[in-house]
Amino acid sequence: MKFEDLAQELRQEPEYVAAEEELRPQLELANDVLRLRLAKGWSQTELARRVNTKQANISRLENGLANPTVGFLRKVGRALGVDLVVRLKSEKIHAEQSGIVYATPGIRTRAAAMSVQELAS
Protein backbone atom coordinates (compact mmCIF):
# COMPACT_ATOMS: atom_id res chain seq x y z
CA MET A 1 0.00 0.00 0.00
CA LYS A 2 1.29 3.47 -0.89
CA PHE A 3 1.74 6.04 1.85
CA GLU A 4 -0.83 8.41 0.34
CA ASP A 5 -3.42 5.62 0.19
CA LEU A 6 -2.77 4.76 3.84
CA ALA A 7 -2.94 8.41 4.88
CA GLN A 8 -6.23 8.87 3.03
CA GLU A 9 -7.63 5.75 4.69
CA LEU A 10 -6.51 6.87 8.15
CA ARG A 11 -8.06 10.32 7.69
CA GLN A 12 -11.46 8.62 7.52
CA GLU A 13 -11.14 7.67 11.20
CA PRO A 14 -12.20 10.41 13.65
CA GLU A 15 -9.66 9.29 16.29
CA TYR A 16 -6.81 9.64 13.81
CA VAL A 17 -8.00 13.07 12.68
CA ALA A 18 -8.23 14.24 16.31
CA ALA A 19 -4.73 12.91 17.12
CA GLU A 20 -3.28 14.50 13.98
CA GLU A 21 -4.81 17.85 14.88
CA GLU A 22 -3.51 17.61 18.46
CA LEU A 23 0.03 16.90 17.21
CA ARG A 24 -0.03 19.43 14.37
CA PRO A 25 2.26 22.04 16.04
CA GLN A 26 4.95 19.47 16.85
CA LEU A 27 4.72 17.89 13.40
CA GLU A 28 4.90 21.23 11.60
CA LEU A 29 7.92 22.26 13.67
CA ALA A 30 9.59 18.90 13.01
CA ASN A 31 8.93 19.25 9.29
CA ASP A 32 10.29 22.81 9.21
CA VAL A 33 13.53 21.88 10.97
CA LEU A 34 14.04 18.82 8.77
CA ARG A 35 13.32 20.76 5.56
CA LEU A 36 15.65 23.62 6.50
CA ARG A 37 18.45 21.28 7.59
CA LEU A 38 18.25 19.25 4.38
CA ALA A 39 18.20 22.42 2.28
CA LYS A 40 21.58 23.27 3.79
CA GLY A 41 22.86 19.77 3.12
CA TRP A 42 23.61 19.20 6.79
CA SER A 43 23.40 15.99 8.77
CA GLN A 44 21.70 15.95 12.16
CA THR A 45 25.17 15.76 13.67
CA GLU A 46 26.23 18.94 11.87
CA LEU A 47 23.14 20.85 13.02
CA ALA A 48 23.67 19.56 16.56
CA ARG A 49 27.28 20.78 16.47
CA ARG A 50 26.14 24.24 15.37
CA VAL A 51 23.46 24.36 18.09
CA ASN A 52 25.87 22.98 20.70
CA THR A 53 23.65 20.02 21.55
CA LYS A 54 23.56 16.28 20.95
CA GLN A 55 22.48 14.67 17.69
CA ALA A 56 19.79 12.78 19.63
CA ASN A 57 18.15 16.11 20.54
CA ILE A 58 17.94 17.07 16.87
CA SER A 59 16.56 13.64 16.03
CA ARG A 60 13.82 13.95 18.66
CA LEU A 61 12.98 17.44 17.40
CA GLU A 62 12.72 16.27 13.77
CA ASN A 63 10.60 13.29 14.77
CA GLY A 64 8.10 15.41 16.71
CA LEU A 65 9.08 13.71 19.98
CA ALA A 66 10.71 16.70 21.69
CA ASN A 67 9.19 19.35 23.90
CA PRO A 68 11.84 22.01 23.26
CA THR A 69 12.20 25.28 25.09
CA VAL A 70 11.89 28.57 23.24
CA GLY A 71 15.57 29.16 23.95
CA PHE A 72 16.54 25.89 22.29
CA LEU A 73 14.38 26.68 19.27
CA ARG A 74 16.03 30.10 18.99
CA LYS A 75 19.44 28.39 18.87
CA VAL A 76 18.20 26.01 16.17
CA GLY A 77 16.76 28.94 14.21
CA ARG A 78 19.99 30.91 14.43
CA ALA A 79 22.00 27.90 13.30
CA LEU A 80 19.66 27.46 10.32
CA GLY A 81 19.67 31.18 9.51
CA VAL A 82 15.98 31.77 10.19
CA ASP A 83 13.96 33.66 12.78
CA LEU A 84 11.81 31.87 15.33
CA VAL A 85 8.19 33.03 15.29
CA VAL A 86 5.84 31.89 18.03
CA ARG A 87 2.25 33.04 18.04
CA LEU A 88 -1.10 32.16 19.47
CA LYS A 89 -4.26 32.45 17.44
CA SER A 90 -7.93 31.83 17.73
CA GLU A 91 -9.30 28.93 15.74
CA LYS A 92 -11.63 31.48 14.14
CA ILE A 93 -8.69 33.32 12.62
CA HIS A 94 -7.01 31.84 9.58
CA ALA A 95 -3.71 33.05 8.12
CA GLU A 96 -5.60 34.70 5.24
CA GLN A 97 -7.87 36.59 7.62
CA SER A 98 -5.12 37.81 9.92
CA GLY A 99 -2.98 38.80 6.96
CA ILE A 100 0.09 37.30 8.60
CA VAL A 101 2.18 34.86 6.65
CA TYR A 102 5.45 33.43 7.99
CA ALA A 103 7.82 31.76 5.60
CA THR A 104 11.39 30.72 5.10
CA PRO A 105 14.12 33.18 4.05
CA GLY A 106 13.71 34.54 0.56
CA ILE A 107 9.92 34.55 0.78
CA ARG A 108 8.33 37.84 1.71
CA THR A 109 5.97 38.19 4.63
CA ARG A 110 2.99 40.46 4.85
CA ALA A 111 0.84 41.79 7.65
CA ALA A 112 -2.53 43.44 7.28
CA ALA A 113 -3.37 46.48 9.35
CA MET A 114 -5.69 44.92 11.91
CA SER A 115 -6.14 46.02 15.49
CA VAL A 116 -5.94 43.67 18.44
CA GLN A 117 -9.69 44.08 18.91
CA GLU A 118 -10.34 42.97 15.33
CA LEU A 119 -8.16 39.90 15.78
CA ALA A 120 -9.82 38.98 19.07
CA SER A 121 -13.37 39.24 17.74
| pLDDT per position as a tens digit, 23-80 | 888 989 999 999 999 999 999 999 999 999 999 999 999 999 999 999 999 999 999 9
pLDDT at 7: 83
10 shares its domain with 45: yes
| 40 & 75 share domain | yes
Which contacts of 99-108 are long-range, i.e. CB under 8 A and separated by 24 or more positions? Answer: 104/35, 104/36, 105/81
> Which has the higher per-residue pLDDT, 19 or 121?
19
Same domain, 73 and 91: no
In whole angstroms, how far apart are CA 42 and each of 72, 73, 78, 118?
18, 17, 14, 42
Identify whether residues 13 and 70 lie together within a single domain.
yes
Q: Are residues 35 and 60 in the same domain?
A: yes
State the pTM of this model.
0.66
29 & 56 share domain: yes
pLDDT tens track for 82-115: 999 988 877 655 544 444 444 444 433 333 333 3
Show the domain range for 55: 3-83
